[in-house]
Amino acid sequence: MANKILTFKPNWRKKNYKSHGGRWCKSINGQVRYFGTGKSQSDTKSYQVAEKAYLEFLHQEETKKPVEVPINQATLADVVEVYLQNLFARYERQDVSAQHFNWMRRHLIYFTKHFGKDTLINDLTELDLEQYKNFHAGRKNISKITARDYLSTVKIFFRWGWKMSLIEKLPRNIDDLTKITSGRAKLVKPMPKIFTMEELKTLWEAAGEKVKTWTVLGLNCSFTQKDLAELRASELDLEHGSIKRERSKTKVYSVCTLFEVSVDLIAKHRYQYTSDTNGTERVFLTEKRSTDTLRNEPLIRNKIKADGALNRTDVIKCAFFRLQKKTGINDGRSFRSLRKTGATFIEQIDPLSTELYLSHSENGMKQFYAQRDWGRLEKALQEMEKRLNGVIC
């Protein structure tokens, strides 16, 4: 290690100025950045780790640099790269989610491979896009909805390129690109996969205390993993036994009356600290581990890696999957099936309360003139609690 890229900066204490290890650092554009700690300047192992972190940092900075593309020489891969850089910047300022970025990236990579990365973007014609549409419409391994998603991404991409003057002419059939019909075949009505009373009892008896808390909220409040992970302390009222919040996916306001067992489990297993590492007051956070990597973190975390791929951690999904594997209750069902199970129970009790339970938005002008009858949902949930007595208790 004669020629080191990084410099070792020793630590010191104010009282005795005695050295206690140090940090590996590098001055970049006039700013000192640190890439790891070490015991001493001769600590080879810590230096190798810090050097790896430094090289990864340089790679990330390189990928953030804007790509300059002459319009007459712009290839499909060039314009896709510029678009993804723009989309990544929107992700960093939280205009779009990590899932959305990953979704667009995967579809555009597929589009680039189909026509070739060296194809000039302005050489693509209406016939090429029509051929790409027919290709996806004829695929047997994906649904019509998935095919429409692939084409919708291409439509958004071309409109953006035209607005940014990277595409000289917008294809005339761009609006027809996503119009895929299912032919004369009738659409099959989906049959929601739910858990039976016996299966719920088996899952409940085998579950740990925290998984029980998430499970009962999946049934009680029709919560998905995201709803649980984003539940704030300000939205929870244990004194009156209710949760008032906007659903994470649709932003539709809902009022849910909690079961007695829900109140007891939340009070016992809610996170005791005031906030997570981002300062957000969440009801549920990850437990402390031997390292600080999972301390005070949300139950669901999405991060875009250096190569642009999505790195997703879902503690709830993994814990419930382990429970299903332990009990042998699977068959294509997941934690989201609890929401479908609860909706089925509410539909049997009071069909008019099902929309309230699922937090679906009102259609038409009614949403602007009438308040929703949360008392009706409360009565339906009370009846549901009675039916589940002996199953989840």
The pLDDT, as a whole number, for residue 102 is 93
The pLDDT, as a whole number, for residue 290 is 47
Q: Torsion-angle region of residue 222: left (phi > 0), alpha (psi -120 to 50) or beta?
A: left
Q: Which two tokens stand for residue 162?
A: 């035209």
Closest by alpha carbon to 309, among 151, 101, 168? 101
The pLDDT, as a whole number, for residue 16 is 46
Q: Are 116 and 76 in contact (CB under 8 A)?
A: yes
Q: What is the rounded (10 degree) CA torsion for 64, 69, 75, 80? A: 30
Please state, in angstroms and rounded to a whole number, the distance separating the CA atoms of residues 61 and 71. 25
Express the helix, strand and coil content of the chain in percent, nearest 5 each: 45, 15, 40
Task: Tell me the pTM.
Answer: 0.69
Closest by alpha carbon to 270, among 219, 227, 322, 231? 231
Q: Are 316 and 293 in contact (CB under 8 A)?
A: no
Closest by alpha carbon to 314, among 99, 102, 89? 99
The pLDDT, as a whole number, for residue 68 is 62
Give burial (CB, 10 Å; 0-12/13-18/19+) of 143. Answer: exposed
| pLDDT tens by residue, 25-52 | 888 877 788 888 888 888 888 888 888 8
- Could you tell me the end-to-end alpha-carbon distance of the chain, in angstroms, rounded to an integer? 63
Please state, in angstroms and rounded to a whole number, the distance separating the CA atoms of residues 209 and 230. 20
Mark the ranges of the chain whose per-residue pLDDT is less than 70: 1-2, 12-20, 62-71, 182-190, 272-280, 288-295
